[in-house]
C-alpha cells in the first residue's frame, strides 16, 4: 500500500488519552494530519483537555475527539469513517491493578479484533499501526545479548513453564507479553487476508519523557518510579538489571513517520528503545542523571543491595540490550538525548503536581 499523507484525509488513534497515545496524536498533528482521537470518556477533562489544547498551538494538523470503547464491537465505526489510517495504541493495562491478568490478555485480544473489524468495515483504511511492546520481543537470553526485531517473546520457550496459556490468570507480566505477541500476529494476518491495508507495529520498552496529563502517571509505571526517586524514595523496579530508555516523543514520532513511509509494509516491526549504550543504564546511573538535572532535590536510588550485586558481579545484569537502529535507518527517526528525556519526565511530574520533591 502507498504511504498515507495529510492530504489523503483523517487518521484515527485509539487510546488517544493515554501516555503513548497522546504523544502519537501530538506527532500526527505536527505532521499536519487531522486526527480522530478516540477516548472512552469525553467528559473527563484529564483525558481530553491536553488533546484539545493542541488545536491552540498553530500546528498544521487538527484534533477531533470521538467516544469509543475498546471492548465494544462496532464502537469505532463512526470514528474511523473516512479515515485513511488507524494507529491502535489502546489496550487494558495492569498499573495499580486496574485490570487483572485475564482482563489484560482478553481485553487486548478482543479489543484489537474490534478495532480491526471496524477498520475493515469502513473500507478506506490503507495503513494500520499497532502499538505492541518490547515485551513481545524479549525472551530468555544470556547477559549481553542484543535484541532485534527478529526476536519474539515466544522464542526459546519450549521447556519454559513460565510461558503458558494456563498461567494467564495468575501472571500479569506473562499475560501482557503473550497478548502483545498474539495481537501482532492477529494484526498482520488480518491485514494480509483482507488485502485492504498494510499493518506494522512498534515495540517500545522503558518509555519516559514529558507527561501531558495527570492521568499519565500510573502507579508502578516507569514514570511513577522516576517520581518516587524525585520524592527521595527507594526505587524498587528493575534495579538488578538495566533500564533501556526510549523517549515517549520518539514513540509518537516514529508512528507518524511510519504512516508517511514508502518502505514500511505489512509485517514490519520497529523496536523503540535506546539509541545506543547511553540509554541502557542502571538505576544508579538514572539516579546520577537526576541528581545532575535536579541539583536541589535529594534524589532517591536503588536498594542498598545493589552494591553487593555490583561487588559480586562487577555490574548489574547487562540486559535488556536493544537499539532502535531500524527505526532510525528506515524511518529517519531522530531521537532525544537521555538527559532531555529524564529532565522532561521529572519536570512535568513536578509541574503537574504529581510529585512532592524531596528538596535538600
Which pLDDT score is estimated for 162?
A: 87
Q: What share of the chain is helix, strand, coil (3-state, %, to 5)?
A: 40, 15, 45
Taking Cα atoms as reference points, which of 265, 331, 253, 326 lies closest to residue 2? 265
Cis peptide upstream of residue 320 (ω within 30 degrees of 0): yes
Q: How far is CA 73 from the centre of its chain?
A: 24
SS3 333: coil
Mean pLDDT of 113-139: 97
CA torsion 345→351→353→358, rounded to 10°?
70
3: which 3 cell numbers?
504511504
Provide the strand spans (E) within 132-283. Answer: 146-147, 198-204, 206-208, 243-247, 269-272, 280-281
Mean pLDDT of 118-133: 98
pLDDT reading at 182 higher than 90: yes
pLDDT digit string, tens, across residues 299-341: 999 999 999 999 999 999 999 999 999 999 999 999 999 999 9
pTM above 0.85, yes or no: yes
Residue 358: band (very low, low, confident or very high) from pLDDT cuts 50, 70, 90: very high
Domain 11-209+244-274+321-338: CATH superfamily is: NAD(P)-binding Rossmann-like Domain (3.40.50.720)
Residues 6+ apart with CB under 8 A from 139: 151, 152, 153, 154, 155, 156, 157
d(CA 356, CA 360) in angstroms, rounded, equals 12
Q: CB–CB of 243/119 below 8 Å?
A: no
pLDDT reading at 155 higher than 80: yes
Provide the strand spans (E) within 184-320. Answer: 198-204, 206-208, 243-247, 269-272, 280-281
Which pLDDT score is estimated for 92?
A: 75
Mean pLDDT of 194-214: 97
Which pLDDT score is estimated for 159?
A: 85
Mean pLDDT of 242-250: 98
Percent of the chain with pLDDT over 90: 91
pLDDT reading at 71 higher than 70: yes
Which pLDDT score is estimated for 95?
A: 56
Which pLDDT score is estimated for 280?
A: 98
pLDDT reading at 263 higher than 60: yes
Provide the strand spans (E) within the chain. Answer: 11-14, 34-39, 62-67, 85-88, 127-131, 146-147, 198-204, 206-208, 243-247, 269-272, 280-281, 321-322
Which pLDDT score is estimated for 101?
A: 85
How far separated are the first and last CA of the chain, in Å rounded?
57
41: which 3 cell numbers?
470518556
pLDDT digit string, tens, across residues 11-64: 999 999 999 999 999 999 999 999 999 999 999 999 999 999 999 999 999 999
Which pLDDT score is estimated for 97?
A: 62
pLDDT reading at 99 higher than 90: no
Domain edges within the chain: 11-209+244-274+321-338
SS3 348: helix
pLDDT digit string, tens, across residues 81-96: 999 999 999 987 755 5
Amino acid at each position: 500500500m502507498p504511504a498515507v499523507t495529510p492530504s489523503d484525509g483523517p487518521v484515527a488513534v485509539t487510546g488517544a488519552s493515554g501516555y503513548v497515545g497522546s504523544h502519537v496524536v501530538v506527532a500526527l498533528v505536527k505532521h499536519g494530519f487531522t486526527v480522530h482521537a478516540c477516548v472512552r470518556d469525553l467528559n473527563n477533562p484529564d483525558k481530553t483537555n491536553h488533546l484539545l489544547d493542541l488545536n491552540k498551538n498553530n500546528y498544521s494538523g487538527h484534533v477531533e475527539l470521538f467516544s469509543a470503547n475498546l471492548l465494544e464491537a462496532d464502537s469505532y465505526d463512526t470514528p474511523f469513517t473516512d479515515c485513511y489510517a488507524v494507529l491502535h495504541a489502546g489496550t487494558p493495562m495492569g498499573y495499580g491493578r486496574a485490570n487483572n491478568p485475564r482482563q489484560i490478555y482478553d481485553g487486548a485480544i478482543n479489543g484489537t479484533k474490534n478495532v480491526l473489524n471496524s477498520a475493515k468495515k469502513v473500507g478506506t483504511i490503507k495503513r494500520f499501526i499497532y502499538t505492541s511492546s518490547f515485551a513481545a520481543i524479549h525472551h530468555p537470553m544470556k547477559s549481553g545479548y542484543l535484541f532485534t526485531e527478529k526476536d519474539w517473546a515466544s522464542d526459546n520457550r519450549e521447556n519454559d513453564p513460565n510461558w503458558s496459556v494456563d498461567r494467564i490468570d495468575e501472571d500479569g507480566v506473562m499475560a501482557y507479553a503473550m497478548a502483545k505477541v498474539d495481537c501482532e500476529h492477529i494484526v498482520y494476518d488480518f491485514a494480509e487476508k483482507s488485502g485492504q491495508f498494510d499493518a506494522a507495529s512498534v515495540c517500545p520498552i522503558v518509555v519516559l519523557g514529558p507527561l501531558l496529563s495527570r492521568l499519565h502517571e500510573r502507579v508502578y509505571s516507569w514514570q511513577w518510579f522516576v517520581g518516587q526517586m524525585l520524592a527521595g524514595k527507594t526505587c524498587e523496579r528493575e534495579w538488578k538489571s538495566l533500564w533501556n530508555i526510549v523517549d515517549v516523543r520518539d514513540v509518537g514520532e516514529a508512528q507518524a513517520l511510519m504512516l508517511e513511509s514508502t518502505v514500511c509494509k505489512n509485517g514490519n516491526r520497529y523496536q523503540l528503545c535506546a539509541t545506543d549504550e547511553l540509554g541502557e543504564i542502571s538505576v544508579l546511573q538514572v539516579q546520577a542523571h537526576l541528581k545532575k538535572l535536579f541539583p536541589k532535590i535529594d534524589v532517591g536510588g536503588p536498594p542498598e543491595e545493589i552494591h553487593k550485586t555490583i561487588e559480586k558481579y562487577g555490574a548489574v545484569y547487562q540486559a535488556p540490550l536493544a537499539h532502535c537502529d531500524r527505526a532510525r535507518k528506515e524511518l529517519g527517526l531522530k531521537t532525544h538525548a537521555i538527559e532531555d528525556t529524564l529532565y522532561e519526565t521529572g519536570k512535568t511530574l513536578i509541574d503537574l503536581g504529581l510529585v512532592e520533591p524531596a528538596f535538600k
